Chain A
Amino acid sequence: MSFLEIEPFRIALYVVGALAFVGANAAYLVWVERKAAGRFQRRAGPTEVGPAGLLQPVADAIKLMSKQIIVPPGSDALLFRIAPVMVMAPALMCFATIPFSDSIVARNIDVGLLMIFAFGSINVMAVMLGGWASRNKYAIISAARVVSQNVAYEIPMLLTVITMLMVAGTLNLHEIVKQQEAGFWAWNIFRLGTNPLMPVTFVIFFTCMLAETNRAPFDMAEAESELVAGAYTEYSGMGFGVFFMGEYANIVIGCAVATVLFLGGWGSPVGFLPGVWWFLAKMYFLIFTVIWIRWTFPRTQFYGLLNLSWKILIPFSLATLVLTSIVMKIPRMF
């Protein structure tokens, strides 16, 4: 019996692992984003701290940690302090069930997908609480925007997830990946036999994921030119830092889920390299796409954003849902 099978060790290992993974990702995705943004804009990005600015995230972390956390007078001190925690903790929980490879998963839960979306939706409430507790007009407007934005985008996102459920027939992420192992033609995004609109479903899911994580071009919640820093306006030091890490953690989770649901998880299209590298490669490609989109498109208007959801994404995701059920059911009727 290897020590990995002893339960407390397993838990400790995964807690440490998840924390380290989230921390490293949050820190270095900022670096990647700044470097990528620099390249898109024909600049150099960070260069000063460490070779190619690689130590910049460390410097930023030290700076944020050494700063005082100011709780503005008149704010709700308790909620104000809890809100960042409520962004970060559920994000960590989501990592528990993501299968990085056939053998690397903290908890292979049968309702893994459901759990991710359950914890994922706490994020919205946390941002809203943070904005509300700050007693700042910009923050409150931003909180109201976050809520209506997330309500609008949760619907098409869950509709696409239901479509995927019908195709997969299970909520277990491990199982979902197993079904796609045959090769890249078996990845859900290419399984046109179950639903000819599968690539569209993927685009809808990805768009909703951008909106759910409040990323540009859907970053209404912290539209700098209108709302200063939105819900985060009053946060200083690590209070702000944790929100920031939470945002990147949510992007990582969103891209990981997209990889599992649509891109065959750890499945390799050609065969060489262990599965976990393929998983990470797919996930980071999606993350890079998220960054790429941010620096390519201007911010949408708030009502434009809601229109996009209610007038385009929801009808289309409903259509794929109906279409999938027809495609799946009709052959069985005969």
Chain B
Amino acid sequence: MSIAMAERAKLEALRARFGAAIRRADLPGNGRMFVTVDPAAIREICRHVFREMGARYVISIGADDRPFSGEFLVAHNFAFDGDGVLCGLLAHLPGDRPALDSISDVVPAANWAEREFRDLVGIEPMGHRYPKRLVLPDGWPEGVHPLRKDVSWDDVPKDFDEDLEFKFDEAPDGCVVVPFGPFHPTLDEPAHFRLYVEGEMVRGCEYRGFMAHRGIEKLAESVLSYNDIPMMAERICGICGCVHSVAYVQAVEDAAGVRVPERAEYIRTIMLEMERLHSHLLWVGLACHIVGFDTLFMQSFRIREPIMWMAERMTGNRKTYALCLVGGVRWDIAPETGAALRGVLDTLEKEWRGVVDAVTGDRNIQARTRGVGVAGPDLVKDVGLVGPVARASGVAIDCRRDHPYAAYGRVAFEVITERGGDVWSRIVVRMKEVFESIGIIRQCLDKMSPGPIQARVDDELPVGRMGLSSVEAPRGEAHHFLVTGEGNRPRRWRVRAPTYQNLQGVPAMIRDQQLADMTIALGSIDPCFSCTDRMETVDVRSGLRRTWTQEDLVRLLKKGGA
């Protein structure tokens, strides 16, 4: 069944079931569906789509559309992975009363996303079971929602109490609270877990994150322009930056109908796979460090280094490649660079085989990771786990295959799955994916033909169009939602990093586990907090030395941005 037919079939099914509650539908025929529904029926429609039609929950977006239509907008995005369809269920809410039914009791994965639009856009998810603040700190005044269009990007509310301590939930009876983070040797970025520990067993936890929220989305909507944003997007994450930059430009291209030259698609694919290579190598090293096996940690980093050098040779940087623009890429791959890349891949393949043998042959690592941090297929579905975490539980989802983008439709590769659902399975999945990535890069190098790498974009991009883009990051699906806007910049851009969903599964994975297993269970989702928070590490108080105040930062931003 073609994608267009699958879309029509889905729409017919929805119409037959809900009739007039389906108000409008756009089927552009490229694997995207935008269905405008009656806000009163949103909960039931989402339940039907999620439970009965078997869709995977992706993300919920809240947007302030008042300057254009006088309404607020909520989109619940779902993916039909088997049919290659990404579907947005849209609800328009009156500008004076932004509230709609919470779907998080029927779609548990929507928990965070609803709390986020409650914080940032001020749309109330009615009946949400845990309506605590997610993104905004407790000292932020009530009623100020930063992503609303009437709040300026550089505005700090006068009564913002920066130093107010967070209010935490009560720990259960008989449990001691062990803080894990914001600063801890195994956390590379700030996040705070309050673990409820009984003896050596973890009974639950509370998560407070979003400590490095940079407001990138707000900047994109108010200061930057279409082609500035890719450079900002890749600074969302220190490891999978290229993923966000590609996902963003694809969302714009999807919304505006820009066609990308074939060679540019191959180059994007190659860089994405390079990123997967160095990310997985880094992760296997870190996992070994967490279980106390520093020798393999050092080996992984040694093997990984040539990839970084290669990336530097191809783009000028080890990271933040500044690769993508709307309509193409900025760096071409010269024939001699391609040859050097093949050499690096050959060495990597050989050396990585050695590491894989060492890890799979080590009974200690297996004893340490088998049966730890288990996530079954039900948890994957309910919480919307993605990437290697889902694949390690036997759920074969991979955007590269299910929603092909860039050149992935033209290369052959295998989606690696395991059955165990535990940390060990995640290690195995990631180790095997390295070989698939090597294969993909080789195929791209073979199939690439000379040609332009950038499409001409002469006209202004159309206004008010929606674009969706899912890119398989090393950690899972990175999803970008975008509404094109006036002034050469988007109206709304929402980034959902894979860790955003995977982190929500962590409390279930660590419950009733040994405290000693907590770090590797958390580590096994390969958490990336800055991705999730979408922020830059800007530490403020360094005592006697240089203190970056908020004013300094704002001034710097003004200098750079405007």
Contacts and interface: CB of A to CB of B under 8 A. Distances in A.
B517 A301 contact: yes
A217 B368 CA distance: 12
A110 interface: no
Interface in A88-121: none
Contacts of A138: 178
B451 to A, nearest CB: 42
B368 A301 contact: yes
Contacts of B367: 300-301, 304
Interface stretch (B65-73, B284-292, B339-347, B536-544): B284-292
A226 B515 contact: yes
A137 interface: yes
Nearest to B301: A41
B485 to A, nearest CB: 45
Interface stretch (A17-25, A127-135, A290-298): A290-298
Interface in B297-321: 298-299, 302
B294 A295 contact: yes
B165 interface: no
B368 A226 contact: no
Given A217-B364, A225-B186, A304-B367, A295 B514 contact: no
Nearest to B368: A301
Contact of B516 (A295, A296, A302): A302
A40 interface: yes
Interface string A203-219: 00000000000001101
Contacts of A141: 178, 200, 515
A226 B518 CA distance: 8
A329 interface: no
B299 A225 contact: no
Contacts of B519: 225-226
A224 interface: yes
Interface residues of B, number: 31
Interface string A134-157: 000110010000000000000000
A298 B518 contact: no
A302 B516 CA distance: 7
Given A297-B364, A298-B368, A223 B516 contact: yes
Interface string B254-296: 0000000000000000000000000000000000111111111
A137 B176 CA distance: 9
Residue of B290, B298, B516, B517 with highest tally of chain A CB at under 10 A: B516
Interface in A300-332: 300-304
A224 B292 CA distance: 8
Contacts of B518: 226
B423 to A, nearest CB: 12
Given A217-B364, A300-B368, A302-B200, A41 B298 contact: yes
A225 B295 contact: no
B446 interface: no
A302 B372 CA distance: 14
- The 10 A-B residue pairs with the shortest CB-CB distance in the complex, in nearest-first order: A299-B292, A298-B293, A41-B298, A225-B290, A225-B186, A298-B291, A298-B364, A225-B519, A295-B295, A302-B516
Interface of B: 176, 178-179, 184-186, 200, 288-296, 298-299, 302, 362, 364-365, 367-368, 514-520
Interface of A: 37, 40-43, 137-138, 141, 216-217, 219-220, 223-226, 228, 295-304
8 contacts: A138-B178, A225-B289, A228-B185, A295-B294, A299-B293, A300-B368, A301-B517, A302-B516
Given A141-B178, A296-B295, 14 more contacts: A37-B294, A37-B295, A42-B302, A43-B298, A216-B292, A224-B292, A225-B185, A226-B186, A226-B516, A226-B519, A298-B288, A298-B364, A300-B364, A302-B516
